[in-house]
């Protein structure tokens, strides 16, 4: 128990909640560092079994796949904590640690019941991270975010319950998609992976978090879903199509976006799309590629979001139309942003190259020319929307006249750490390859691979600058699936209310009386001062509960 | 100046193809400068697709502000 890297983070979250200043920083850094250590140390096998309601649970089960994800999640908690040390909001860091710990708990869950528990805990932690930004927009976005994830959790609960009933086993192993429970579980995983069309929750919610909050948010939810798909649904063909849809959705929406962190949010969907495609291909190399890509992606996406978060902190601006020319006074942040941009574009000598090329290679080896071609086109598109567009419009482009300082030392240190990892893993990739679930002999650096990738990316760059006029930033948003639940459904609800009122009116006096009675009843019970809206004294609450218990006891004996 | 350097780098990346051992995944990739051409055209197509979508789905960025 004590050596569970996720529970260590959750314990650190509880411990740091009342602290401030250096004690808090110490708990955060030591807690996450020991979580990293424990993740590396965790040996294969089931370390804990619990019997619960007649079910065998294995809340601490380790194999190569779960260890890989535990390591990267713990590393991300450490990097994120360093970056967020100067964040004055008191709730955010404990919430982020709860969130990260729950993500590790989900990856180390050997059974579906434990997975569900940590899945929900993740939703709670991430909602709190978002909500703690304490702006009206973040508050509204966090509620929409929570609704989507509670919906996903409901699907998962129904799926798990059905699956346990059907198979008689709680074990979390590879499944098919034949039965209804399996379909529900797959759907729940896809909701969290931000698969199209239910992808809008991600760019809707994450960019409303604080400058440090989004760094945490980008790492855990979607990648836990990738882990769950890797374990539960490897080689399910549907995932190839779902993944490719995500890849192109992400690129096209990111190209139209003006908010710098929303560009990066769409690009999360795009990157997770590569992983989901790899999982759908399902060969050992494809699964290795998906796992490796999740690992490298967490690092370079966090680096990109740290550079964007730094810009947000020192300038208070988030729109590309308000930014530009920041390289003059923020050369360090600019350099780190560029390293992240090169890594996400899979430039040779960066971490993205050694992971993404494995997925493409698996498509080629599996004789899937169309998938391979689409992945290549998408690689070019990644450079376009995240590799050039983000750094160009934020740090270069026109001179916005802003001359902000570099961010504080801890934020620079966190960026330096991640930038070093992005380049280090691109050059010394063997340690990462050894952590992957399957043994393989993939060689990323051949002259042909490097030249092919450089041609693809450099000519994408040419396309960007040739067509720059078509990419000019405008003060616009692009409608997405969230339009349905932000605009259409509320409008339908109001319209239904009006129709009902009209029908009651047409029903004559009786109808009107009924309507008035209903309304006054609702007012009496739920309105200001109504029985359900009052604050009750603790004493009368206790009395009420006691009366209920007595009544229960009585009916129990009289039964 | 920057443009000229960039064009030299582009040309170099294409010419470098002649000096490495080719192991194309599919026949198309064996064509000379295939990846350069494909990268450029793919991006152009993506930008055009984005512009087309924008005609339908773009709204002023205060569109959601009253919710």
A residues 108-147 lying closer than 8 A (beta carbon) to B:
140
Q: Are A98 and A10 in contact (CB under 8 A)?
A: yes
Distance in Å, alpha carbon of A190 to nearest chain B alpha carbon: 25
Q: Do A447 and B35 touch (CB under 8 A)?
A: no
| pLDDT exceeds cutoff 60 at B67 | no
| pLDDT exceeds cutoff 90 at A482 | no
**Overall residue count recorded for chain B in this entry:** 67
pLDDT digits (tens, 9 = 90+) for A332-348: 999 999 999 999 999 99
Give me the residue spans of the domains in chain B: 2-57
Total beta-carbon pairs less than 8 A apart between chain A and chain B: 142
* Nearest Cβ partner for A252 among B9, B46, B60: B46
A476-478 vs A45-52, strand pairing mode: unpaired
* Nearest Cβ partner for B47 among A456, A471, A477: A471
pLDDT digits (tens, 9 = 90+) for A303-331: 999 999 999 999 999 998 899 889 999 99
What angle do helix axes A213-232 and A260-281 make, rounded to 10 degrees?
Answer: 10
| pLDDT exceeds cutoff 70 at A267 | yes
| pLDDT exceeds cutoff 60 at A1 | no
Q: Does A448 touch chain B (CB under 8 A)?
A: yes
- Dihedral angle, C-alpha A500, A502, A506, A511, nearest 10 °: 50
Partners of B59 on chain A (C-beta within 8 Å) are 476-479
Q: Are A162 and A220 in contact (CB under 8 A)?
A: no
A369: nearest CA partner in chain B:
B26
pLDDT tier for residue A287 given thresholds of 50, 70 and 90: very high
* Nearest Cβ partner for B53 among A252, A384, A450: A252
Distance in Å, alpha carbon of B20 to nearest chain A alpha carbon: 5
- Phi and psi, residue A62, nearest 5°: -125, 135
Cross-strand pairs, A259: A319
For the segment A538-555, the average pLDDT, to the nearest whole number, is 87
Q: Do B58 and A476 touch (CB under 8 A)?
A: yes
* Nearest Cβ partner for A464 among B29, B35, B43: B43
Partners of B46 on chain A (C-beta within 8 Å) are 248, 251-252, 255, 377, 380-381, 384
Q: Does A469 touch chain B (CB under 8 A)?
A: no
For the segment A267-279, the average pLDDT, to the nearest whole number, is 96
pLDDT score of A535: 72
Assigned token pair, A188: 């729940």
For the segment A129-157, the average pLDDT, to the nearest whole number, is 93
* Nearest Cβ partner for A456 among B22, B38, B50: B38
Distance in Å, alpha carbon of A167 to nearest chain B alpha carbon: 42
pLDDT score of A96: 96
Residue A478 CA to residue A252 CA, distance in Å, equals 10
For the segment A276-305, the average pLDDT, to the nearest whole number, is 95
Residue A114 CA to residue A105 CA, distance in Å, equals 8
| pLDDT exceeds cutoff 70 at A511 | no
pLDDT score of A264: 95
Handedness of CA A223, A229, A230, A235 (dihedral sign): negative
For the segment A207-219, the average pLDDT, to the nearest whole number, is 94
Q: Do A459 and B39 touch (CB under 8 A)?
A: yes
Partners of A462 on chain B (C-beta within 8 Å) are 6, 10, 40
For the segment A297-306, the average pLDDT, to the nearest whole number, is 96
For the segment A25-54, the average pLDDT, to the nearest whole number, is 92
Residue A343 CA to residue A165 CA, distance in Å, equals 45
For the segment A477-486, the average pLDDT, to the nearest whole number, is 87
Token pair 């990268």 in the structure block, residue? B39
| pLDDT exceeds cutoff 90 at A53 | no
Assigned token pair, B24: 């194309």
Percent pLDDT > 70 in chain A is: 97
| pLDDT exceeds cutoff 80 at B22 | no
pLDDT score of A2: 67
pLDDT score of A261: 93
pLDDT tier for residue A149 given thresholds of 50, 70 and 90: very high
pLDDT score of A398: 82
Distance in Å, alpha carbon of A46 to nearest chain B alpha carbon: 41
Cross-strand pairs, A111: A171
Distance in Å, alpha carbon of B66 to nearest chain A alpha carbon: 10
A residues 255-314 lying closer than 8 A (beta carbon) to B:
255-256, 258-259
- DSSP code string of A441-452: ------HHHHHH
For the segment A449-456, the average pLDDT, to the nearest whole number, is 89
Distance in Å, alpha carbon of B17 to nearest chain A alpha carbon: 6
Q: From the DSSP assignment, how many helices (H) and strands (E) are in chain A?
A: 23, 3
| pLDDT exceeds cutoff 80 at A104 | yes
pLDDT score of A352: 93
Q: Does B63 touch chain A (CB under 8 A)?
A: yes
Taking alpha carbons only, the member of A122, A133, A148 closest to residue A204 is A148
pLDDT score of A314: 94
pLDDT score of B35: 86
pLDDT score of B58: 84
| pLDDT exceeds cutoff 70 at A480 | yes
B residues 14-33 lying closer than 8 A (beta carbon) to A:
14, 16-17, 19-26, 28-29, 33
| pLDDT exceeds cutoff 80 at A354 | yes
Distance in Å, alpha carbon of B53 to nearest chain A alpha carbon: 8
A293: left (phi over 0), alpha (psi -120 to 50) or beta: alpha
What angle do helix axes A238-256 and A369-382 make, rounded to 10 degrees?
Answer: 20
For the segment A237-258, the average pLDDT, to the nearest whole number, is 94
Q: How confident is the prediction for chain A on average, in pLDDT?
A: 91
| pLDDT exceeds cutoff 90 at A497 | no
For the segment B17-37, the average pLDDT, to the nearest whole number, is 80
Least confident interval from A133-137, A250-254, A294-298, A538-542: A538-542
| pLDDT exceeds cutoff 90 at A202 | yes
This complex has an ipTM of: 0.90
Residue A70 CA to residue A115 CA, distance in Å, equals 14
pLDDT score of A438: 92
Taking alpha carbons only, the member of A375, A379, A174, A185 closest to residue A277 is A375
Least confident interval from A172-186, A192-206, A340-354, A481-495: A481-495
Q: Name the percent of chain B in helix, strand, coil, to the closest 5.
A: 70, 5, 25
- Dihedral angle, C-alpha A384, A388, A389, A392, nearest 10 °: -160
| pLDDT exceeds cutoff 60 at A117 | yes
pLDDT score of A123: 95
| pLDDT exceeds cutoff 90 at A64 | yes
pLDDT tier for residue A559 given thresholds of 50, 70 and 90: low
């Amino acid at each position: 128990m004590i050596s569970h890297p996720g529970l260590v983070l959750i314990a650190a979250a509880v411990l740091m909640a009342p602290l401030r200043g250096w004690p808090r920083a110490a708990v955060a850094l030591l807690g996450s560092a020991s979580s990293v250590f424990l993740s590396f140390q965790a040996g294969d096998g089931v370390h804990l079994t619990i019997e619960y309601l007649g079910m065998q649970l294995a809340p601490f089960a380790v194999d190569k796949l779960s260890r890989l994800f535990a390591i990267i999640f713990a590393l991300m908690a450490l990097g994120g904590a360093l970056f967020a040390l100067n964040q004055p909001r008191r709730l955010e860091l404990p919430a982020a640690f709860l969130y990260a710990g729950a993500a590790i708990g989900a990856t180390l869950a050997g059974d579906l019941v434990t997975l569900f528990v940590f899945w929900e805990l993740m939703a709670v932690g991430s909602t709190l991270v978002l909500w703690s930004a304490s702006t009206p927009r973040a508050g509204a976005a966090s509620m929409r975010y929570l609704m989507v994830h509670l919906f996903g959790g409901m699907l998962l609960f129904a799926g798990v319950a059905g699956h346990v009933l059907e198979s008689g086993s709680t074990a979390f192993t590879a499944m098919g998609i034949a039965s209804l429970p399996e379909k529900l579980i797959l759907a729940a995983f896809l909701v969290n992976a931000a698969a199209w069309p239910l992808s809008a929750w991600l760019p809707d919610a994450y960019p409303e978090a604080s400058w440090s909050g989004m760094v945490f948010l980008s790492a855990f939810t979607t990648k836990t879903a990738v882990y769950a798909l890797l374990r539960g649904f490897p080689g399910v063909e549907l995932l190839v199509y779902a993944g490719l849809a995500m890849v192109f959705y992400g690129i096209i929406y990111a190209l139209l976006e003006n908010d710098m962190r929303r560009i990066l949010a769409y690009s999360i969907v795009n990157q997770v799309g590569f992983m989901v495609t790899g999982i759908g291909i399902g060969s050992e190399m494809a699964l290795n590629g998906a796992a490796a890509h999740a690992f490298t992606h967490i690092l370079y996406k966090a680096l990109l979001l740290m550079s964007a978060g730094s810009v947000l902190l020192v300038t208070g601006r988030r729109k590309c139309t308000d930014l530009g020319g920041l390289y003059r006074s923020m050369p360090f942040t600019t350099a780190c942003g560029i390293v992240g941009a090169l890594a996400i574009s899979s430039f040779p000598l960066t971490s993205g190259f050694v992971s993404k090329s494995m997925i493409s290679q698996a498509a080629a080896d599996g004789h899937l020319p169309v998938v391979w071609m689409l992945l290549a086109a998408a690689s070019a598109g990644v450079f376009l929307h995240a590799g050039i567009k983000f750094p160009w419009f934020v740090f270069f482009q026109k001179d916005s006249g802003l001359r902000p300082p570099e961010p504080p030392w801890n934020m620079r240190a966190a960026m330096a750490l991640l930038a070093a990892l992005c380049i280090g893993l691109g050059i010394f990739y063997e340690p990462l390859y050894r952590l992957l679930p399957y043994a393989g002999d993939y060689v990323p650096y051949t002259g042909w691979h490097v030249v092919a990738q450089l041609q693809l990316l450099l000519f994408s760059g040419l396309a960007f600058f040739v067509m720059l006029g078509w990419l000019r930033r405008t003060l616009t948003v692009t409608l997405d699936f969230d339009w349905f639940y932000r605009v259409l459904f509320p409008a339908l609800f109001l319209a239904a209310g009006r129709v009902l009122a009209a029908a009651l009116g047409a029903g004559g006096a009786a109808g009107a009386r009924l309507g008035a009675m209903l309304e006054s009843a609702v007012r009496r019970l739920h309105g200001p001062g109504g029985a359900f809206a009052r604050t009750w004294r603790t004493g009368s609450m206790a009395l009420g509960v006691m009366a209920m218990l007595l009544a229960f006891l009585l009916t129990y004996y009289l039964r | 100046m920057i443009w000229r350097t960039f064009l030299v780098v582009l040309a170099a990346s294409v010419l470098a193809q002649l000096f490495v051992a080719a192991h194309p995944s599919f026949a198309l990739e064996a064509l000379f400068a295939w990846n350069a051409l494909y990268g450029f055209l793919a991006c152009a197509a993506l930008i055009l697709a984005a512009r087309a979508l924008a005609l339908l789905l773009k709204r002023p960025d205060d569109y959601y502000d009253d919710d």
